Chains A and B, each alone.
Chain A
Amino acid sequence: MAAFTAALRSGALINGLRASFRTLPPVKYGAVAAAVPPTNLPRGCRWSSASALSVKERIDHKRKTALCGGGQHRIDAQHKKGKLTARERVELLLDPESFVESDMFVEHRCSDFGMEQDGNKFPGDSVVTGRGRINGRLVYVFSQDFTVFGGSLSGAHAQKICKIMDQAMMVGAPVIGLNDSGGARIQEGVESLAGYADIFLRNVMASGVVPQISLIMGPCAGGAVYSPALTDFTFMVKDTSYLFITGPDVVKSVTNEDVTQEELGGAKTHTTVSGVAHHAFEDDVEALLNVREFFNFLPLSNQDAAPIRECHDRSDRLVHSLDTIVPFETTKAYDMLDIVHATVDESDFFEIMPNYAKNIVVGFARMNGRTVGIVGNQPKVASGCLDINSSVKGARFVRFCDAFNIPIITFVDVPGFLPGTAQEYGGIIRHGAKLLYAFAEATVPKITVITRKAYGGAYDVMSSKHLRGDVNYAWPTAEVAVMGAKGAVQIIFRGKENQAEAEAEYVEKFANPFPAALRGFVDDIIEPSTTRRRICRDLEVLASKKQLNPWKKHANIPL
C-alpha cells in the first residue's frame, strides 16, 4: 500500500526524535509521525508522584486533565490555526449536555522512546469518544484530538473508536467521526496499523447498517484516509483539512511533482476533482452546524424508516412555476435545481457533491416532512448526459438511500451516455452499469418524473418502469425515444432525400410522451404543477411497500 511506503520513508524522522519533540516539529502528513509534547503541564498535574492522593481525588484529577487535552499551549495553537479542539467540536455538534463520554481514563500502552513517562500520558489519549443526541436523536461520536500527539492513532485510540462503533451497531445508531490526526503513532509501530485495520473492518461491517459520516477537520493522511473513504459521507472544512495517501514531500521524491497540500488533497480538490468528499464547509463552526442539519435527514439505522419531520409546507401545494420551466426548444438548457427546489418542502435541499460531476444532481430533501433522496439529470451541464463520474456519483447515492429506507425521486432529462474515447477507455460501460445496477436492485419506493428527454439506454437506467419504478410520470414535454429525431432519421432514412420531412414525422411520432404512455411505461402524463402533490400522495401509499430481492450472500455490483 502506498501509504505504508510513506511510513517507511519517514522512519528517518525517528533519528531526530528527541530534539524535535522539544521544538514541536510540523507533522509530516502521510508519514507515521507523532510528536510527544514536552512535559509542560502545570505542577499540580503531576499527581502520580503524590501517592498520598485519595482515589476520589485521583479520579477528579484525571477527569480534569482529560478535559485539558494536550494542554492550554496546544489548545491555543489549535485555535490559532482556526480550528476548534476535539471537545469543543463535540459540544457544538451535539445537543447541549447530551454528550456521554466513554473511555476517558484510557491511556496509551506504549513504553518505547520515552512514551511511558508520566508527562507523555494523557487520560483519554488522542481521541474523545462517546454518544450524544442531535435534536434528540441518538448518535455515536469520536473526535480526534490534535492537541495530544497530533491526534496520532495509537492502539488505545483505535480501541476507543472501535468500542463506540460496536455499540452503535448494537443499538442501531449512526456514527460521526471528526477526523483531525497526523497519522499513525510511530512509537507504537504495528500496533497502530492494527488499530487502523480494526476500524476499517468495523466501517465495513457497519456499512449499510448504520449511517456513517466523516467530517475531516484537519489532516487525514496515509492509511487513515481509508476510514472516511469507507463511510457513507465525507465532509471537509475548507483551508484546514487535507486528505491524501502521501503528502507533497513524498510526492516530490517519488514522482518529482511539485504540489501544495491544498492542491493535492484540500477541500476544493476532493469536492471538484476527485469526488472523494461530498461537501466542503467554510470553517469548523459551519461544518458542525451543517452536519447537525444533515443528520436530521437520516434514519438512525437500516431498521428505521426515513424520518418524518413536522412540515409547514402544504403537500397539495401546486407549483405553477413548473409549468413553464422546460423551454420549448429541446436544445435549450434549464436548471434542474429549479425543479427540485420548487418541488420539495420549503425549497430545502441538501445537495451532495454539488461541485463534482455536475451533470447529475443528487441530495436529500423532504416531501411532506419525509426524507427523500433526489436524483436528477442536470441539463445545464453537459446537457445532463451520463458519463463515468456522474454514473458513479449517482450510483453511490442511490445505494445509500436504498440501504437506509429512503425513497428515491428521480427527475429525468437525459440525452444519453457521453460518447468518446475518453469515456470508453475510462470504462463508461462498467461505470454506467453501476447506476443501472443501483436503481435496479433498490427496493425502496421509487418515483420517476420524466421532464424532457429520456433517450436510449440512459432512459432505461434512470429508474425506469422496467427497473421496478413504482410510479413513473411524464410531463407533457417528455420525449421517450431511442435517440433524438435527427440521429434517428439519419439511420432510418439513410441516404434518402427529404430528411427534414422524415425528421418532422419522427418528432410527431416519438418526441412526446405517448409511445411510452400507451405501453404503460409511464403511469400517467401529468401537469408539471401537480408534481409535488402527486409525489406526496404516492409516498404515503408507498410507505408500506415491501419488496425483497432474492437471497444472496451479497450482490456483485460491477466495481
Chain B
Amino acid sequence: MAAHRLSPSLNRLLLAGKYASFWTRCCAVHGYAQYSTACSPNEKTFDKILIANRGEIACRVMKTCHKMGIQTVAVHSDVDASAVHVKMANEAVCVGPAPTSKSYLNMDAIMDAVRATGAQAVHPGYGFLSENKEFAKRLAAEGVAFIGPDTYALQAMGDKIESKLIAKAATVNTIPGYDGVVKTVEEAVKISQDIGYPVMIKASAGGGGKGMRIAWNDEETREGFRFSSQEAASSFGDDRLLIEKFIDNPRHIEIQVLADKHGNALWLNERECSIQRRNQKVVEEAPSTFLDAATRRAMGEQAVQLAKAVQYSSAGTVEFLVDSNKNFYFLEMNTRLQVEHPITECITGLDLVEQMIRVAKGYKLQHKQEDIPINGWAIESRVYAEDPYKSFGLPSIGRLSRYQEPLNLSNVRVDSGIQEGSDISIYYDPMISKLVTYGATRAEALASMEDALDNYVIRGVTHNISLLREIITHPRFISGDISTNFLPEVYPDGFKGHQLEADSRRELLAAAAALHITAQLRSQRVLGDLRVSSSPVECSHWELCVELEEGRHHVDVTKSGKVYTVEMDGVKVEVDGQWNLASPLLPLAINGTHRMLQCLSRDASGKIVLQYLGTSFKVRVLSKLAAQLNSYMPEKVPEDTSSLLRSPMPGAVVTVSVKPGDSVAEGQEICVIEAMKMQNSLTAARQAKVKSVHCKPGETVGEGDLLVELE
C-alpha cells in the first residue's frame, strides 16, 4: 500500500540505490520484499527468539523476526501486560512487577522464560541486559544464543576504563584522561586539576548520559562526583567513576560497525548525534554534514580496528568526539543495537537486526566494505513524553488519550512501542517513538520531518515536538553548524517555543478566528428542529477580538463558502480548510500556503489552544461585545509560587536536605527527585526560611505536587 504511494523523488532514490530503503510501519506489507536484496531466503537461523526488552525496540526486533519467519517471545512486567510488544509477540511471559530491577533486569525470571518457551536465542535490544556479560554467560551456559557480541567483547568494551586501554593499544585516537577508577572526592578533585578543567566525570559502567557530569571547577567536581556515583549506583549497580578531559564544543559522531564470528568487520558509515540535552541524544542524522570522505574512512577504519581487536561480532557502535578541526577521539563502544540505528538502515538498506540474527547463528557477513552505500539522507527525531520548556525536557507521564503517527506521509518511518490508550509511566524511559524521515537529499529529509512533526497527533502527555521542530528548522542546524552545545548555545535562556513573527502571528490568529466562527456556525445547525428561528441572522461578517499572550487584535472576518477572509491591522489573511471540528488535525491553506495546525482544545468561553509550527499557543477569541465586556472582568491573581517548591516532574524523592525552620540561601539544594533514573536537584528560588516540608525520602510525587513551602 504505502509502497505504491512513494513520492517520485523516493522512487528515484530506490531505483538509483542498490538497496531499497527499509520501512518499519509503512511497508509492513510490501516493504520488506524489496529491501535487502542480498537476503537469502533459505538461510536457516532460529525457530524462536526471546526479546528481553520492551517498548519500541522489542517491537522493532519482532518485526524482523516475523519477516524472517522466526517465532517471538516477549517478556513483560505486570504493568506492561497489554503493551504493544506483548501483543505483537507469538508468546509472552510476565517476568515480574513494574520496577525494572524486578522485571526487565531480573535475570532469573528471564532465564526461566527462556527455558519455559524453548527460545533458541535472545535479543536484548538496548539498555537493560543488552551489555550485561553475566546475562550473556548464563545464556551461553544453557546453549542459548545471545544476539550480540560475545562476553569478552562485552566485558572489554563495557568497562570504560578498560575499553580506553584497548583502544589505545589498537591505535585508535583517545581522549586524555585518568586511566583508572576514582575512589574519593578528594582524589577526583586532584585528578581533575591534573587533567585541567573542564573535565567529565562519568560512571565506568555507564551509558546513555546517565551518571555523567561535567565540572568546570573543584566545587562542581565534588558535586558531580556525588551525583554521578549515586546515579551510577541506582542505574547500573556499580558506582565506579572515571574522569577525563572534557572536549569543549565537540560533535558527537559515531560509526556503526558490523562484524561476524569469522573475523570480518564492516563500517556502515556514521551517524551525527550532536544534538543532545543532558548528554542524551535528541536529533540524529546520517550521514553527517561535517565529515569528508577521508575522515569518514579514517574513522571507519579505526572503528573496524577496534572491533577486530576485541574479536567483536554482531552490530556495534564506536562513538567519537570530533572537534572543529576534524580531530576525532574514541569515546566508547556500544556493544549493542543503538537507539538511532534506523537512520543507518535507511541510508545503507541493511536490516541490522536481521544481520545481528544471522551473525549470532554463525553466518558470515554478506557484504563487502565497497557494497555499503550512502543512499540519500535520513534524520531521526526522538519524540519524548517530556516538557521541553523545562531544561530542554523533563519527563512527563500520562495516558495517550489520542495518538496518531504520521504514516500517511511518504518517506516516514516511525518506530514505536505504544499506541492510543498506552500509559507513559514513571517506571520506564519516556520515549514515545523514533520518527525517521529520509529523502534523496538532506533538504528533502528535513522537509519531510517538518511535515511529519506537524502531522503527529499526541494527546494526554506533554511532548517535545515543539523542540524537535525548532531544532530541525533552525538556520544553524540547516547549515550543519552544530555541536553538542547546540541547545544551550541557541537557547541560552532555555527553550521557549516557537517565536512568532508578525506574519506567522497573523496566520495563527486568523486560523483561530476562522475556527471559532466555524464552531459558532455549527452550533446553529440543529437538525430537524422546527422550532429554531426560521429567520436566523444569516451572518457572513463578524467583528471579533483575538487575544494571544499580551497582544489583542481586532479582526474583521468575512466568509464565502468555506474560505474565511480575516482582516487585522489592515492586512488580509485568507484561510481555507475542511473545517472538521472532530479532527485533531486542522489542514489549512493560509494565503495559499499549506499549513497543518492542530486543535488541542477549544472551550465555550473562546479559549482555543492551537499547535502551530510545532508549538502550542493559547488564543482567546471573543466577539467584539464579549471582548468589550471582558475588560470589566477582574484579573484573577495567580498563586504566588516563589515560596512554593513544587515537583517539576513525577518521580521519587531521594533526599530532603531541609527541615522546617531552616534558613536556606538562594540556589541551595532543598531536595533531590529521581525520575526515569535521573537525579534532579531542586533548589531554593530565593533566600528564605523553610516553613513546612511536605515530602519524605522514598515517597512518590506527581508533577506539581508541593514539596516544600518557604516563608
List of B residues within 8 angstroms of A540 by Cβ: none
Complex: A286 Cα to B632 Cα, angstroms: 12
Mark each residue of chain A from 86 to 127: 1 if its CB lies under 8 Å from any CB of chain B, else 0: 001001100111100000000000000000000000000000
- Size class of B's contact patch? 35 or more
Contact (Cβ within 8 A) B522 A285: no
* Docked CA distance A253–B452 (Å): 68
Query: In the complex, what's the smallest C-beta–C-beta distance from B218 to chain A, in angstroms?
Result: 49
A138 touches which one: B403, B524, B533, B632 (CB < 8 A)?
Answer: B533
In chain B, residues 27-46, which have Cβ atoms closer than 8 Å to a Cβ of chain A? none
A283 and B531 CA atoms in complex are apart in Å by 31
A79-B632, A82-B633, A304-B531 in contact; A285/B421 too (CB < 8 A)? Answer: no
Q: Is the CB of B582 within 8 A of A346?
A: yes
- Does B324 make an interface contact (CB < 8 A)? no
* Chain B neighbourhood of A79, CB < 8 A: 632
* B526 and A137 form a contact (CB under 8 A): yes
* In the complex, B580 has a CB within 8 A of chain A: yes
Taking a contact as CB atoms closer than 8 A, the residue among B420, B531, B622 that contacts A137 in the complex is: B531
CB proximity to A under 8 Å, residues B391-439: 399-403, 419-422
**Smallest Cβ-Cβ distance to B399: which chain A residue:** A338
Determine whether B4 belongs to the interface, using a CB cutoff of 8 Å to chain A.
Answer: no
On whether the beta carbons of A309 and B537 are closer than 8 Å, the reply is no
Interface centre among A97, A284, A296, A324 (most CB of B within 10 A): A324
Contact of A296 among B82, B523, B537 (CB under 8 A): B523
Given A97-B537, A313-B582: A136 touches B78 (CB 8 Å cut-off): no
Instruction: Assess whether A325 is in contact with B421, with CB atoms less than 8 Å apart.
Output: yes
A-B contact pairs, 14 of them (CB 8 A): A84-B629, A88-B629, A92-B629, A133-B536, A135-B524, A136-B532, A136-B533, A136-B536, A283-B634, A285-B633, A296-B526, A314-B582, A321-B400, A323-B82
CB of B281, distance to nearest CB on chain A (Å): 30
The answer to whether the Cβ of B636 comes within 8 Å of any Cβ in the partner chain is yes
Q: Are B421 and A289 in contact (CB under 8 A)?
A: no
Number of A residues near B (Cβ < 8 Å) is 53
Pick from A133, A285, A329: contact of B533, CB below 8 A.
Answer: A133
Query: Do B401 and A285 touch (CB < 8 A)?
Result: no
Report yes or no: B522 in contact with A322, Cβ–Cβ below 8 A: no
Contact A285 B605 (CB under 8 A): yes
Q: Which residues does chain B contribute within 8 Å of A329, judged by CB atoms?
A: 78
**Neighbouring A residues of B400 by C-beta, 8 Å:** 321
B606 adjacent to chain A (CB < 8 Å): yes
Question: Is there a chain A Cβ closer than 8 Å to B475's Cβ?
Answer: no
Beta-carbon contact of B421 and A323 below 8 Å? yes
Residues of B close to A369: CB separation below 8 A? 527
Q: A308-B527, A345-B582 are in contact. Are A338 and B401 (CB under 8 A)?
A: yes
B604 within 8 Å of A by Cβ? Answer: yes
A300 at the interface (CB under 8 A from B): yes
For B529, what are the chain A residues with a Cβ–Cβ distance below 8 Å? 137, 304, 307-308
Any chain B CB within 8 A of the CB of A64?
no
Is A290 interfacial (CB 8 A cutoff)? yes
Residue B141, interface by CB 8 Å: no
Measured between alpha carbons, how far is A283 from B82 in the docked complex, in Å?
44
Contact with B along A122-148 (1 / 0, CB 8 A): 000000000001011110000000000
Q: Is B15 in the interface zone, CB < 8 Å from A?
A: no
- B629 pairs with A135, CB closer than 8 A: no
How far apart are the CA atoms of A293 and B602 in the complex, in Å? 12
A284-B633 contact, Cβ under 8 Å, with A136-B532, A309-B527: yes
Shortest B424–chain A CB gap in Å is 13
A contact residues around B443 at 8 Å (CB): none
- For the complex, what is the distance from the CA of A346 to the CA of B523, rounded to whole Å? 13
Q: Contacts A82-B634, A285-B630: A290 and B581 contacting too (C-beta < 8 A)?
A: no
Chain B residues near A292 (CB-CB < 8 A): 604
Task: Check: B368 CB closer than 8 A to any chain A CB.
Answer: no
Interface residues of B in 455-508 (CB under 8 A from A): none
B581, A285: Cβ atoms closer than 8 Å: no
Give bound CA distance, A88 to B625, whole Å.
Answer: 9
With both beta carbons as reference points, the residue of chain A lying nearest to B632 in the complex is identified as A79
Smallest CB-CB separation from A88: which chain B residue?
B629
> What separation, in Å, do the CA atoms of A83 and B626 have in the docked complex?
13
Nearest-neighbor residue (CB-CB) of A303 within chain B: B531
| Residues of B in contact with A (beta carbons under 8 Å apart) | 78, 81-82, 399-403, 419-422, 522-529, 531-533, 536-537, 580-583, 604-606, 622, 625-626, 629-630, 632-634, 636
Q: A133-B533, A283-B636, A289-B626 provided; 10 other pairs, C-beta below 8 A?
A: A135-B526, A136-B532, A137-B526, A284-B633, A285-B630, A290-B605, A308-B527, A314-B582, A341-B401, A342-B401
Complex CA–CA separation, A283 to B622 (angstroms): 14
Q: Chain A residues with Cβ under 8 A from B524's Cβ?
A: 135-136
With beta carbons under 8 angstroms apart, the residue of A296, A307, A309, A312 that contacts B580 is A312
A328 beta carbon closer than 8 Å to chain B: yes
A137 contacts B533, CB within 8 Å? yes
Annotate A300-340 by CB proximity to B: 1 below 8 A, 0 otherwise.
10001001111111100000111111001100000000100
Cα distance A289–B620 when bound, in Å? Answer: 13
A413 to B112, CA, bound (A): 37
8 nearest interchain CB pairs?
A321-B421, A293-B604, A313-B582, A82-B634, A312-B582, A310-B525, A283-B633, A286-B605
User: In the complex, are the beta carbons of A290 and B531 less than 8 A apart?
Assistant: no
A282 at interface, CB cutoff 8 A: yes
Closest residue to B622 on the A side, CB-wise? Answer: A285
Q: With A and B bound together, what is the CA distance between A239 and B633 in angstroms?
A: 11
In the complex, are the beta carbons of A289 and B580 less than 8 A apart? no
| A92 lies within 8 A of B525 (CB) | no
Q: Which residues of B contact A346 (CB under 8 A)?
A: 581-582
Which residue of A310, A341, A342 contacts B522 across the interface (Cβ within 8 Å)? A310
Contacts of A97 in B (CB 8 A): 537
Query: Of the candidates B82, B605, B634, which one forms a contact with A289 in the assembled complex, judged by CB atoms under 8 Å apart?
Result: B605
Contacts of A84 in B (CB 8 A): 629, 632
CA–CA, A102 and B613, complex, Å = 51
Q: Give every chain B residue within 8 A of A285 (Cβ-Cβ).
A: 605, 622, 626, 629-630, 633
Set B422, B537, B580, B632: member contacting A95, Cβ < 8 A: B537
CA distance A345 to B583 in the complex (A): 11
Chain B residues contacting A98 (CB-CB under 8 Å) are: 533, 537
The residues of B that contact A91 with a CB separation of less than 8 Å are 625
CB distance from B285 to the nearest CB of A (A): 33
In the complex, what distance in Å separates the CA atom of A273 from the CA atom of B606?
A: 29
Within 8 Å CB of B636, what residues of A? 282-283
Chain A residues near B401: list those with CB within 8 A: 321, 338, 341-342
Shortest distance between the CB of B527 and any CB in chain A (Å) = 4
Docked Cα-Cα span, A84 to B629, in Å, equals 7
Residues of A within 8 A of B420 (CB): 320-321
Taking a contact as CB atoms closer than 8 A, the residue among A95, A138, A284, A311 that contacts B629 in the complex is: A284
Could you tell me the distance between the alpha carbons of A97 and B403 in the complex, rounded to whole angstroms? 43
Q: What's the nearest-Cβ distance from chain A to residue B642, in Å?
A: 23
Identify the interface centre among B419, B422, B522, B526: most chain A CB within 10 Å of its CB. Answer: B526
Inter-chain contact B422/A324, CB cutoff 8 Å: yes
Cα–Cα, bound, A82→B582 (Å):
35
Distance between A93 CB and nearest chain B CB, rounded to angstroms: 11
A136 contacts across to B, CB distance below 8 A: 524, 526, 532-533, 536
Which residues of chain B are near A322, meaning CB under 8 Å?
Answer: 421
Q: Which residues of A contact B422 (CB under 8 A)?
A: 324
Most B CB contacts (10 A, CB to CB) among A98, A137, A282 go to: A137
Which A residue's beta carbon lies closest to that of B529?
A307
User: How far, in whole Å, are A239 and B637 apart by their CA atoms in the complex?
Assistant: 12
* Residues in B whose Cβ lies below 8 Å from that of A239: 634
- Chain B residue with minimal CB distance to A283? B633
Asked if A324 contacts B421 (CB within 8 A), the reply is yes
**Roughly how many angstroms separate A292 CA and B622 CA in the complex, as a whole number?**
14
**CB of A341 to closest CB in B, whole Å:** 7
Chain A residue nearest in CB terms to B524: A135
Please give me the residue from chain B that is nearest to A332 by CB atom. B79
B542 (CB) vs chain A CBs: closest residue: A96
| B528 CB contacts on chain A under 8 angstroms | 308
Cα-based distance from A304 to B526 in the complex (angstroms): 13
